């Protein structure tokens, strides 16, 4: 079996509020250009210490529920040892332990094998850094 590895970066602006940004269309477009109908793996990676990648339902409130749960688990207050930046910024550095900075998805016939309601999302609670880079890599 022949294998090919292709990688590309996306530049995402998340804004000044906590964000769940849907990357599913970007991932699908990348696969249309690179997978050429092959089976393989798609890796999505965010090389930032304060952001993560999640696979979840969007548009029905689950994205807001995720942000609310993260606010409950990781309050933006002065309890954090990591204290530079905005108040409570230390919690942003704990986020990747709960929402990892990567996801690997199966690709079948050039398409992500996601469930009906699943989307690939960038989760960013750091309101001080609005510019994010996401690396998409296909091996197939």
- pLDDT tens, position by position, 14-47: 988 999 999 999 999 999 999 999 999 999 999 9
pLDDT tens for 95-128 read: 999 999 999 999 999 999 999 999 999 999 999 8
Q: 41: which residues sit within 8 A by CB, 6+ positions away?
A: 104, 105, 106, 107, 138, 139, 140
Q: 119: which residues sit within 8 A by CB, 6+ positions away?
A: 22, 23, 24, 55, 56, 57, 58
pLDDT (0 to 100) of residue 15: 86
Using an 8 Å Cβ cutoff, are 118 and 56 in contact?
yes
The share of the chain scoring above pLDDT 90, in percent, equals 85
Whole-angstrom Cα distance, residue 36 to residue 119? 21
Given a cut of 50, whether residue 64 has pLDDT beyond it is yes
In this structure, the chain runs to a length of 140
Mean pLDDT, the chain, as a whole number? Answer: 94
- What is the layout of strands, in order, in the sheet containing 5-13? 5-13, 131-139, 40-45, 102-108, 111-112
Q: What is the pTM of this model?
A: 0.94
Structure tokens at 92: 């942003």
The share of the chain scoring above pLDDT 70, in percent, equals 99
Q: Please state whether 109 falls in left (phi above 0), alpha (psi between -120 and 50) or beta.
A: left
Instruction: Give phi and psi for 42, each to the nearest 5.
Output: -110, 125
33: closest CA among 6, 57, 59?
6
Domain at 5-139, CATH class: mainly beta
78: closest CA among 67, 69, 89?
89
pLDDT (0 to 100) of residue 1: 47
């Amino acid at each position: 079996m022949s294998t090919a590895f292709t990688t590309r970066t996306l530049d995402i602006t998340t804004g000044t509020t906590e964000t769940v940004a849907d990357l599913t269309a970007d991932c699908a477009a990348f696969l249309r250009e690179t997978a050429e109908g092959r089976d393989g793996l798609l890796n999505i990676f965010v090389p930032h210490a304060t952001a993560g990648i999640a696979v979840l339902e969007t548009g029905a409130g689950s994205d807001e529920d995720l942000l609310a749960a993260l606010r409950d688990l990781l309050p933006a207050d002065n309890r954090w040892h990591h204290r530079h930046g905005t108040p409570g910024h230390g919690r942003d550095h704990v986020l990747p332990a709960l929402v990892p900075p990567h996801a690997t998805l199966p690709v079948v016939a050039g398409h992500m094998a996601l469930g009906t309601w699943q989307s690939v999302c960038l989760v960013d609670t750091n309101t001080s850094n609005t510019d994010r880079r996401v690396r998409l890599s296909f091996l197939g």
